[in-house]
């Protein structure tokens, strides 16, 4: 059981809840803050004070005063009118993350909702009821209005949810689970949809997956190093200590550990003085991406514990301030950076793939085929990798530099952070498939060496990989191989494959890895 308090959610806890289905509960102290904040809203409604979003309309309609008798109608109309997202739904993991992050934000006690709102969000999370939330339609300022409206819609028994593997009407699932649809009171609709939880949820899911893939990228690079008899001297710690980036040193240290005991890699001057950049600068390039990932984790951790709705209630209701914490710019900039960091892992991997298949750059048969000419071998595998990295370059264009005014020009600058988060996740999927192709090609190239000379750690990866994709015995439909290996890269098995025996396993948030 993980206790939420609106202040201390980490990426590690996020993973346990979203992917590990760890149960959650609110802290007593945070729920007391929530109840106190709610009383302030009740006082505002009772005294008929003019406060944005509680007794007024929204956006450009903020100058329209709402009668006390219409306050509940205001909230339900808000949810229904704003639930106009389009396109394919977010994954269930992202939907779970949105529930978690919205509950955690409300637990800060600045939003004025009743405790039952948070309890119901956590009910959904614990019971595996995942709102169907279309991916497109958010501008990323005024929060993720459209996506979060679809989430809020399910709390009142409307819209659809994923439950036990099926897409079903929310009303049916609520009955099945013995839950009553909520009736939203003053400010609660606005508090549910004003926030950055869609972009933050999708961004955090992308970061979690990229964290693992960054380690897989090192493993793929290590197999390629052996296949091409790469110069391991370039990974000497003195080189990387001299530059000063800790992440670069860490990558070099792990590369040395992966290749320890290999009779295939070479020393400087043994076969060549130095390798091409795609081999020689693995620590520099991979390390730079890792450094970016750590920055993004810092931003997302702040945002996961942020109050992002509007208005916010302070000092027991003495101060109710309309601000702009719903603006997604910090997250948008970070996720645009993450897109570039992810894309670069694929860019350098594709260059290593080219060195594996191009007979002008190695001593293997053309395209790793045993019967070149009659067979094309890995020729089009490199084409596919090239296509994916080219697509990544388009997706990596920063979404955050765009803005289109909305709400009759009241909301005249927006972040487009949710677009950035979606593109980021697509880049991560492309990276996964490029790395799968590098592993396939590296394993095939090693067939022309002596696999008995591989390092113990890379040999273990090779042996596992050969259970997923056999050696080439003629041309076949390699699409199936790519998808099988790409799926394997999501397997928890990699945690043990990449974990150094009796040593610390470095996650994205740091930690020492000894040889």
Residues recognised as catalytic: 52
| Residue 28: count of CB within 10 angstroms of its CB | 9
How many Cβ atoms sit within 10 Å of the Cβ of residue 405?
Answer: 12
Report which DSSP code applies to 406: B
Tell me which residue of 55, 62, 54, 24 sits closest to 37, measured CA to CA.
Answer: 54
Q: How far apart, in whole angstroms, are the C-alpha atoms of residue 153 and residue 163? A: 16
120 membership: H or E segment, kind and range? helix 115-127
User: Is the sign of the CA dihedral 61, 62, 67, 68 positive or negative?
Assistant: positive
The residue with tokens 């109840």 is 35
368 conformational bin, left if phi > 0, alpha if psi -120 to 50, beta if neither:
left
Whether the CB-CB separation of 233 and 364 falls below 8 Å is answered with: no
Contact yes or no for 208/14 (Cβ under 8 A): yes
Tokens 């909301």 belong to: 411
For residue 59, the Cα-to-chain-centroid distance in whole angstroms is 30
Report the chain's C-alpha Rg in angstroms. 26
Closest CA to 316 of 514, 93, 495, 110: 110
CB neighbour burial string for 91-107, b if at least 16 within 10 angstroms, e if fewer? bbbbbbbbbbbbbbbbb
Write the DSSP string, 180-243: PPP---TTHHHHHHSSSHHHHHHHHHHHHHHHHHHHHHHHHHHHHHHHTT-BGGGG-HHHHHHH
Cis peptide before 311 (omega within 30 of 0): yes
Q: Is the dihedral of CA 427, 429, 430, 431 positive or negative?
A: positive
Q: How far is CA 374 from CA 18, 63, 473, in A?
A: 49, 75, 13
Farthest-apart Cα atoms in the chain, separation: 85
Q: Is 244 helix (H, G, I), strand (E, B) or coil?
A: coil
Query: Can you tell me the distance from the alpha carbon of 401 to that of 333, in angstroms, rounded to the nearest whole number?
Result: 9
Tokens 């739904």 belong to 89
Please enumerate in sequence order all residues whose Cβ is within 8 A of that of 468, keeping only pairs 6 or more positions apart, or say none.
484, 485, 488
Helix (H) or strand (E) holding 105: helix 92-106
Structure token pair of residue 327? 């603006």
């Amino acid at each position: 059981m993980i206790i939420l308090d609106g202040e201390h959610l980490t990426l590690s806890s996020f993973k346990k809840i979203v992917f590990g289905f760890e149960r959650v509960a609110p802290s007593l102290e945070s729920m007391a803050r929530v109840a106190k904040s709610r009383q302030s809203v009740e006082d505002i409604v009772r005294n008929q004070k003019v406060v944005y979003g509680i007794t007024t309309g929204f956006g450009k309609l903020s100058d329209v005063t709402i009668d006390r008798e219409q306050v509940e109608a205001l909230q339900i109309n808000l949810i229904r009118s704003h639930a106009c997202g389009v396109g394919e739904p977010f994954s269930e993991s992202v939907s779970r993350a949105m529930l978690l992050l919205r509950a955690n934000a409300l637990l800060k006690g600045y939003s004025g909702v009743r405790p039952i709102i948070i309890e119901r969000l956590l009910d959904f999370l614990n019971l595996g009821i995942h709102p169907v939330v279309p991916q497109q339609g958010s501008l990323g300022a005024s929060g993720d209005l459209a996506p979060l409206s679809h989430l809020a819609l399910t709390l009142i028994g409307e819209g659809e949810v994923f439950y036990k593997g099926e897409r079903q009407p929310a009303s049916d699932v609520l009955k099945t689970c013995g839950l009553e649809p909520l009736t939203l009171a003053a400010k609660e609709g606005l508090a549910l949809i004003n926030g950055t939880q869609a972009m933050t949820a999708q961004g955090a899911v992308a970061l979690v997956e990229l964290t693992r893939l960054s380690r897989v990228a090192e493993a793929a690079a290590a197999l390629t190093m052996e296949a091409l008899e790469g110069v391991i001297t370039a990974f000497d710690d003195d080189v990387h200590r001299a530059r000063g980036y800790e992440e670069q040193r860490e990558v070099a240290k792990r590369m040395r550990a992966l290749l320890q005991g290999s009779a295939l890699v070479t020393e400087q001057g043994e076969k060549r003085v130095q390798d091409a950049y795609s081999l020689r600068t693995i620590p520099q390039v991979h390390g730079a991406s890792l450094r970016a990932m750590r920055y993004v984790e810092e931003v997302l951790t702040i945002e996961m514990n942020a109050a992002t709705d509007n208005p916010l209630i302070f000092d027991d209701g003495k101060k109710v301030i309309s601000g702009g914490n719903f603006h997604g710019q910090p997250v948008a900039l970070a996720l645009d950076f993450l897109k570039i960091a992810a894309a670069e892992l694929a860019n350098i991997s594709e260059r290593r793939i080219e060195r594996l298949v191009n007979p002008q750059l190695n001593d293997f048969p053309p395209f790793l085929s045993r019967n070149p000419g009659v067979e094309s071998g890995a020729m089009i595998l490199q084409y596919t990798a090239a296509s994916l990295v080219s697509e990544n370059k388009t997706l990596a264009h920063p979404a955050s530099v765009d803005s289109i005014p909305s709400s009759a020009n009241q909301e005249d600058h927006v972040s487009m952070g949710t677009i950035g988060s979606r593109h980021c996740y697509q880049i991560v999927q492309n990276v996964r498939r490029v790395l799968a192709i590098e592993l396939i090609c590296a394993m095939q190239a090693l067939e022309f060496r002596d696999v008995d000379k591989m390092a113990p750690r890379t040999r273990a990866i090779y042996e596992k990989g050969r259970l997923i994709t056999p050696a080439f015995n003629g041309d076949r439909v390699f699409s199936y191989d790519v998808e099988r290996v790409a799926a394997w890269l999501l397997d928890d098995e990699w945690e043990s494959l990449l974990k150094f025996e009796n040593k610390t396993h470095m996650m994205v948030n740091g930690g020492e890895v000894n040889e």
